[in-house]
Chains A and B, each alone.
Chain A
Amino acid sequence: MVKSSLIFALLRKEILLEYRQKYAFNGIILYVLTTLFLIQISFQAMLPNVWITMLWMVMLFASVNAVAKSFLQEGAGRMLYYYTISSPQNIILSKFLYNAILLSVLALLTYGGFILFFENIVENLGYFLLVLLTGSIGFAASFTMISAIASKAKGSATLMTILSFPIIIPQILLLIKLTKRAVEGYPLILDYKLLLALGGINISVFIVSLLLFPYLWRE
């Protein structure tokens, strides 16, 4: 079943592949920079609300693009090969871990970009980073599974977008709400219920992915 050595081998393969190709990650970074440039030109000065919303919008579209390739890039032959060496849980876990790392880095870089292009309006940095990283991990959990579904449907990246947006909207609403609190400098303790809810959603989405992926995988 779940074997950590196998998961790390698969994770290493994902990272190595990314390191050698240097295509997806650089593409996403370029995408974020271009969007930020565009936002900067059109808005010039931003209200805090717009800043927060734009941050999550940029994150949303960049994440969908970043994660879309995780299953779509795998050909049928390679999937068959994985099938012979591993159980499905290991595959989805390694993909999830890789995407979580990728999106966390992406989130931090996007935040850096926002500081660079605009200004740092965050007052409670610890709270903000917690929300940012929890959000990225939640995105990774949802999008990894959706990417698997979209690839099985032999659909394009468009199908991925259609399937993932309704699922991610409630999560984004909650994230924007929490980010606002962090930006305004509220202490973390006050919102522990909402944070727990966010964490609970991430965990349940993750567990359901683990349970459902084997059905998707079998053919």
Chain B
Amino acid sequence: MVLKSYWWKFLSFALLVYVCVVGMLTPISSGIAELTPETAKAGEKVSLSVLGYNTHFNDAPSKLKVWLIYQAKGDTINICPDNISVKDNANLTATFQLPAKIKEAGRSVYFAFVINNPTDGTFAKDGAFAVEYPANTQKESFSNGSCSPEVKSNKAKGFIFPYRYILEESIRNLFFHVPMWFAMFLLFGMSVFYAIRYLYKTNEIDDIRSSQFAFAGMLFGICGLLTGMIWAKHTWGQYWVFTDTKLNGAGIITLMYFAYIVLRNSIPETKTRAKISAVYNIFAAVAIIPLLFVLPNNSDSLHPGNGGNPGFKSYDLDLNMRMVFYPAVIGWMMLGYWIAQLRIRIKLLENSILENE
């Protein structure tokens, strides 16, 4: 049965449809997009205005609760607001009386801003608000008084993605940008594998496979670059950051395969072309790939997990995200393999037509 052997094509299609639908339509949970002002002095009375993201402050303003929380070893400060005024679903202002005395003076104290309301559950922005305590501040524990945050667990809101500061909606790009790179590496790996096999067996079909895997890999490389550029524009403010080693590495690999194509096109004779391009493919892979792993570990990158940036793992890639991310990885890899296979079959058909003429 023909259908049976092509089950993976259907699977790939189904997975990608799932990734697109669920990945794009799942709502992002509530979060704090902006908090102003960001600093204040000890003992001041400040009114903090909050810009919420996907929030519903107006649903039940009386049940809305807000705190400033600071937690350190043996020192916990909870401050409740004097009053809260809700402007609309996304804007509220809360006035706080900051303590004049603190246990450990002589530095800035970073408070987390926590909001709790029945519709959105509890959400916070860590280190959102800094209060300066000069060294001459009276050293005394702050008494929390009657203010104690009742941080309840999130109300069940169904399937949602977490809200991340700056990333916001662009967090969905995780299902496209990252798996595309994985797929690209897989396809280039296959290309090198068939190049080696060609040199051993001198079978023309291996050359066709090697070159078509390289083409498919380039397609994914370009898609990965484009999705990455969209993401970079949103989070870093620029389409291309030249100091980022990962970006440059991606650029170099793409350049190398462009050179590979130029080399292929410059040789008219099939056998010579197959041999020389296989040699270049392997040689370039050996010369480039190790350095791409050496360089990023020794220089800064804006990517998660490099140069002091937290990786997605330390953000504990949310369980809901994983449920879309892993299918996306498998789906994009299968799609890449499928594209390469189609191209190989087209090439073989073209060759057999040429032979028959």
Contact = CB atoms under 8 A, between A and B. Distances in A.
Contacts of A12: none
Given A149-B280, A216-B279, A162 B288 contact: no
Contact of B252 (A142, A154, A169, A208): A169
Interface in B318-339: none
Interface stretch (A23-31, A73-81, A104-112, A171-179): A171-179
Contacts of B299: 177
**Most chain B CB neighbours (cut-off 10 Å) among A149, A154, A167, A169:** A167
A130 interface: no
B294 A216 contact: no
Given A149-B283, A216-B276, A197 B294 contact: yes
A174 B294 contact: yes
A142 B288 CA distance: 11
B342 interface: no
A194 interface: yes
A34 interface: no
A166 B279 contact: no
A29 to B, nearest CB: 28
Interface in B160-196: none
Given A152-B272, A153-B266, A208-B283, A170 B298 contact: no
B262 A170 contact: no
Given A152-B272, A152-B276, A170-B292, A209 B283 contact: yes
A167 B288 contact: yes
A159 B255 contact: no
Contacts of B131: none
Contacts of B258: 166
Interface string A151-165: 011110001001101
Contacts of A194: 294, 298
Given A170-B288, A205-B287, A212-B279, A162 B259 contact: yes
A215 B199 contact: yes
Contact of A204 (B276, B290, B295, B298): B290
A201 interface: yes
B276 A159 contact: no
A182 to B, nearest CB: 15
A126 interface: no
B20 interface: no
The DSSP consensus for interface residues of chain A is helix
Interface residues of B, number: 33
Contacts of A146: 283
B99 interface: no
Contacts of B275: 215-216
A63 B144 CA distance: 72
B195 to A, nearest CB: 10
Contacts of B287: 142, 167, 170-171, 201, 204-205, 208
Contacts of B262: 159, 162-163
B54 interface: no
B276 A153 contact: yes
B263 A159 contact: yes
Contacts of A154: 267
Contact of A166 (B199, B245, B252): B252
B118 interface: no
Contacts of A197: 290-291, 294
A37 B266 CA distance: 36
Contacts of A152: 272, 276
Interface in A134-152: 142, 145-146, 149, 152
B255 A165 contact: yes
Contacts of A205: 283, 286-287
Contacts of A200: 290
Contacts of A173: 245, 248, 291, 295
Contacts of B279: 149, 212, 215-216
B102 interface: no
B98 interface: no
A217 to B, nearest CB: 10
B284 A166 contact: yes
B283 A145 contact: yes
**Most chain B CB neighbours (cut-off 10 Å) among A142, A154, A171, A215:** A215
Interface of A: 142, 145-146, 149, 152-155, 159, 162-163, 165-167, 169-171, 173-174, 177, 193-194, 197, 200-201, 204-205, 208-209, 212, 215-216, 219
25 contacts: A142-B287, A153-B267, A153-B272, A155-B266, A159-B262, A162-B259, A163-B262, A163-B280, A166-B255, A166-B258, A166-B259, A169-B248, A170-B295, A173-B291, A173-B295, A177-B299, A197-B290, A204-B287, A204-B290, A205-B287, A212-B199, A212-B282, A215-B199, A216-B279, A219-B272
List 9 A-B pairs, minimum CB-CB distance, nearest first.
Answer: A170-B291, A166-B256, A166-B255, A197-B294, A208-B286, A167-B287, A212-B279, A215-B199, A169-B252
Given A162-B259, A162-B263, 20 more contacts: A153-B263, A159-B262, A163-B262, A163-B280, A166-B252, A166-B288, A167-B284, A170-B291, A171-B287, A173-B291, A177-B299, A194-B298, A201-B294, A204-B286, A204-B287, A208-B282, A208-B286, A208-B287, A215-B275, A215-B278
